[in-house]
Structure 1
Amino acid sequence: MADKVREIERKYDSSGGDLPDLRDIAGVATVADEGVHALDATYYDTPDERLATAGITLRRRTGGDDEGWHLKLPADAAANGDARDEIHAPLSDEVPRRLASLVRVHTRDRDLVPVMRLRTERRIRRLHDADGAVLADVAVDRVEAQRLHGGDSATTWAETEVELAGATPPAFLDGVERHLLAAGLVRADVPSKLARALERTRPRTERAGKTRAAARRKPVTAGDHVLAYVRAQADEIVRLDPAVRLEAPDSVHRMRVACRRLRSALRTYRNVLDRAATDPVITELSWLAGELGLDRDREVLSARLHEELNALPHELLIGSPRGQLRTWDNAQHADTRRHVNRVLDADRYLALLGTLDTLLDDPPLLPAASRKPRGVMRKAVLRDLDRLTVRIDRALGLPPGEERDLALHEARKAAKRTRYGAEAARPVLGKPARRMVKRMKSLQTVLGDHQDSVVAREALLGLAARTHSSGENAFTFGVLYGREEQRAAAREAELGKVWREVAGRKLRAGLGG
């Protein structure tokens, strides 16, 4: 079993000497000396340091009050910049299977081996407020680092670390920092002890090489811009893998959207990237998005049905519809979560990641990739808009029913493709592309709500049948079914007006069409 906590801390270079009087920090009432602790940590990574490159640390540590295995992952992009997510597991001789699975997206087929041993002498001062609550720990560390893989070099240094207690607001770090900087400490330019140890024990020629390899030039050509967008989505899939495994809120949805954005870019810009190489990747991205969709669609459907059920007048709640829905939802959730984890552990998923790496390392560029981006990307977006127009016109020309529902769903997918193609072109096309993205979102809202209604009606039929077979009254689910029919009809009636606003001449003219 692994426990996850959000760690918020900052590190400072210091001589390891005495700290300034910490009682002078605003909000601090008392400072308790927690004594000296001896910590011994062995860090694990692949031989080519894939975890360190991704800003991830995995260690086995003894000593202190939290000995055991610690996996530290970069926090969500929206989180505080000083934050990392730390997952704990009990002390054992081998890397816990749960932690290994959380970094498999990076390790792939490589073994995790000991790469560094850090022995730390840590003196802790604990800061309390006037009520006695813990605000933060300030630790002065003397560190000895020994490289265990790829050489036998060693290094030592001293640093000061400030880690917030769970309930302390992140802004408190700023007050502590002002106090430490005034005393002569300097903000560390490395994110972790391991990063400092690896850099200090790495050959000088290798350090320079890594710096040069990490630099990415500013996009110039059409190929540069398309690849920048493709790379961002591929990176997002990898970044979200641990969050999906940990069931972080909205993580499945965001990974699925990254798959769709990447797939759409490969389709839209087929004049830039050779389809012979990208079509197999598109097929695999469609597979992954579909597998992730089982859990995401359940999540959306469940929220929709609970909301509609809660909005019904009490007199229309016959029997125990809330209990029936809750039982159905719990069973669906358990099944889809297990399925998602099986997908992320599958060889097919890892093969897709490897294929994306190859595609980005040696992109199959066509002649248009070397041209100026504006004309190439504008033409691609307009082609998508033409495709969307054909699908919308076909759907609007069909009578209400199953065939029209399918046609509207196809139009919705075309709207997403047009949106993501314009999204990739925003750095080049500017305001017209931003306007296109905005209008495609409004169209997606109408088409998406219609499709959600189609799916909801299918689920309501199943819930009604299940409720009836258990001997209860299914009337309430019939009421919800009728409301969904009305909602879908309203969206269909709204579509023509929205489409006229979306696909006006000004939009096409703004893109140069």
Structure 2
Amino acid sequence: MAETKREIERKYEATARTKLPDLARVAGVASVADRGVTELDAVYYDTPDLRLAADSLTLRRRTGGDDEGWHLKFPVASGIRDEIRAPLSESLPKPLAGLIRSRTRAEDVVPVVRLRSSRSVRHLVDEAGALLAEVSVDTVHAERLPKGPDTSWTEIEVELADDADPEILDAVEKRLKKAGIAASTSSSKVARALAETGTPAPEVPDDSPGDGDGDDTAGGRVLAYVREQVEALVALDPAVRRDLPDSVHQMRVACRRLRSAFKSYRKVLDRTATDPLGDELKWLAGELGFARDQEVLHERLRARLDEIPRTLALGPVRARLRIWHHAHSGGARRKALAALDSARHLALLDALDALLADPPLLKAAHDAPEPVLAAAVLKDYDRLATRVDHALALHPGHDRDLAMHEARKAAKRARYAAEAARPSLGKPAKRFAKRVKAVQTLLGDHQDSVVARGALRDLGVQAHAAGESAFTWGLLHGQEEAAGAAREREFPEVWAKASAPELRAALTP
């Protein structure tokens, strides 16, 4: 079973002659405990073309020390990484293999570097005897695998103890700097080993605008946006597997933004190439979406129950809601993970990479970005306006609910088109996206009320069939009807702000 540890540390340059200053004089440190020397032997794995290193991920199998085993590290911020650990075994554990699959695809990981370190450890302790930080002086010998050059160096690591105040790292750094010890220029040992043995990690592709020849073009701007969303899909894959907060939602958003970009900018990218990708992105978002949609609905219904007086909660309503939620959410996460593990998902990622490597650019892609992108945004705006007019012309009821849902999807597409165009169109695109987002948000809340009413009716039917009172479910159904009606009354005013003539005029080329 893999476990996760948040690692917060700083690295410093040293030599064999470097001496640590008296760290007991660091503010907050009562004493320094010498923990002796530990011998560590770590083999780092990557694809032959170093895909993990390119994304600042490290995968190693280490023996020695009190945490020997497999370690996979994901960057969180500067000096902060999440380390996922698995027990020592001969082959890569399946949970870790899944977490790197969006990067490695069909490639196997192979040994690329071996690091043997002699680690001298000191613990910084406060007056209560609590560990504040661990300071280690590492003498490292790195060997490129399978048979390559080697290199050696000495470095200092200062790692924050669990639940300790991060300010201790600043205090230690201040003391080290006074002793002439400078911060390391390498982000990790393996990055330094690769660089010093002649095979540095590949550089991240340049996202700056351009259509491949350095020109600032419509194609360059659209491709930069597409690349950003593809990178998000790759990065969010392990986040979804780790069940990190909001990861499923963000991955679905990346799918939607890509689909919208392919549809909105059909004069830039050939739809014969992008339409099949859009279909696959729709499939992936759908596979991920069930669990997310169910969770959102459950939270909404639970909040409704929390708001009513206890005297109006007749019968085992909370137990009934839990039973209903478990029945509808069972297997949803397994379904999402199965999609991420599927050959279909990996084929989609490969196809997106292929599109970026050899983009199907049309004639307009080579033009200046402003008029091309503005025209696309305005076209999506006109599409939204048509759907809004249709919805507002209908009487309240089922048909209007469906029309407002279609308008919501059009608002989302228009908003994403404006966000993609913002680097070219500036503040007008930003204002437009903000106004359309307000429309999308209102219509989303209206749709949530529609879906909630259907669920509440089902809960009422189930309660009645079980001999329970259905009163509370009827009460909540009425509240959702009122909420939906309120959104419908607010809609014309919100739409008027998004459809202001000056907003459209500012986007007109």
Q: TM-score, normalised by structure 1?
A: 0.95
Q: Partner letter of residue 18 of structure 1?
A: K
Deviations 1:200-256 (CA, angstroms, capped at 9, x unpaired): 1125xxx5x945x74554541111111111110110111111110010011000111
- Secondary structure, aligned partner of 1:162: strand
Matched, 1:147 2:144: yes
CA displacement at 1:422 relative to structure 2:
0.5
1:224 aligns with 220
The 2-side partners of 1:82 and 1:331 are apart by: 43
Please give the residue correspondences for 1:99-118 in structure 2 after superposition, counting only pairs within 5 Å.
Answer: 99-118=96-115
The 2-side partners of 1:427 and 1:57 are apart by: 33
CA displacement at 1:467 relative to structure 2:
2.6
2:19 aligns with 18
Matched, 1:468 2:464: yes
Instruction: Give yes or no for contact 2:99–2:237 (8 Å, CA) kept in 1.
Output: yes
1:357 aligns with 353
The 2-side partners of 1:327 and 1:125 are apart by: 53
Structure 1: unaligned runs, 5 residues or longer: none
Please give the residue correspondences for 1:448-463 in structure 2 after superposition, counting only pairs within 5 Å.
Answer: 448-463=444-459
CA displacement at 1:186 relative to structure 2:
2.0
1:197 aligns with 193
1:120 aligns with 117
- Secondary structure, aligned partner of 1:232: helix
What count of residue pairs does the alignment treat as equivalent? 503
Q: Judge which range, 7-16 or 173-182, deviates more.
A: 173-182
Q: Partner letter of residue 438 of structure 1?
A: K
Of 82, 87, 92 in structure 2, the residue corresponding to residue 90 of structure 1 is 87
1:36 aligns with 37
- Secondary structure, aligned partner of 1:186: coil
Q: 1:28 to 1:210 in 2, by over 3 A?
A: same
The 2-side partners of 1:214 and 1:381 are apart by: 27
2:394 aligns with 398
The 1-side partners of 2:455 and 2:74 are apart by: 38
Q: Judge which range, 406-415 or 289-298, deviates more.
A: 289-298
1:52 aligns with 53
The 1-side partners of 2:207 and 2:435 are apart by: 32
The 2-side partners of 1:494 and 1:108 are apart by: 48
- Secondary structure, aligned partner of 2:468: coil
Q: Partner letter of residue 57 of structure 2?
A: I
Q: Partner letter of residue 71 of structure 2?
A: H
Q: Partner letter of residue 144 of structure 1?
A: H
Q: Judge which range, 224-233 or 19-28, deviates more.
A: 19-28
Q: 1:497 to 1:216 in 2, by over 3 A?
A: closer
Q: Partner letter of residue 92 of structure 2?
A: V
CA RMSD of aligned residues (A): 1.6
Q: 1:164 to 1:330 in 2, by over 3 A?
A: farther
2:373 aligns with 377
2:213 aligns with none
The 2-side partners of 1:464 and 1:335 are apart by: 24
Instruction: Give yes or no for contact 2:449–2:483 (8 Å, CA) kept in 1.
Output: yes
Deviations 1:141-167 (CA, angstroms, capped at 9, x unpaired): 011112223x42211111111111121
The 2-side partners of 1:348 and 1:247 are apart by: 21
1:72 aligns with 73
- Taking only the aligned residue pairs, the percentage that are identical comes to 56
Deviations 1:243-277 (CA, angstroms, capped at 9, x unpaired): 10010011000111111111111111111111111
Deviations 1:146-198 (CA, angstroms, capped at 9, x unpaired): 2223x422111111111111212333322222221222222122211111111
- Secondary structure, aligned partner of 2:331: helix
Please give the residue correspondences for 1:397-436 in structure 2 after superposition, counting only pairs within 5 Å.
Answer: 397-436=393-432
The 2-side partners of 1:179 and 1:329 are apart by: 55
1:292 aligns with 288
Of 276, 281, 286 in structure 1, the residue corresponding to residue 277 of structure 2 is 281
CA displacement at 1:428 relative to structure 2:
1.1
Q: Partner letter of residue 4 of structure 1?
A: T
CA displacement at 1:464 relative to structure 2:
2.1
Please give the residue correspondences for 1:293-372 in structure 2 after superposition, counting only pairs within 5 Å.
Answer: 293-372=289-368
2:492 aligns with 496
The 1-side partners of 2:166 and 2:321 are apart by: 40
The 2-side partners of 1:338 and 1:18 are apart by: 53
The 1-side partners of 2:284 and 2:254 are apart by: 11
Of 450, 457, 477 in structure 2, the residue corresponding to residue 481 of structure 1 is 477
- Secondary structure, aligned partner of 1:508: helix
Q: Partner letter of residue 466 of structure 1?
A: Q
The 2-side partners of 1:25 and 1:102 are apart by: 39
Of 235, 241, 261 in structure 1, the residue corresponding to residue 237 of structure 2 is 241
- Secondary structure, aligned partner of 1:187: coil
1:180 aligns with 176
The 1-side partners of 2:473 and 2:171 are apart by: 56
The 2-side partners of 1:330 and 1:180 are apart by: 54
Q: Partner letter of residue 103 of structure 1?
A: I
Q: Partner letter of residue 479 of structure 1?
A: L
The 2-side partners of 1:478 and 1:286 are apart by: 35
Instruction: Give yes or no for contact 2:54–2:202 (8 Å, CA) kept in 1.
Output: no
Q: TM-score, normalised by structure 2?
A: 0.96
1:252 aligns with 248
2:127 aligns with 130
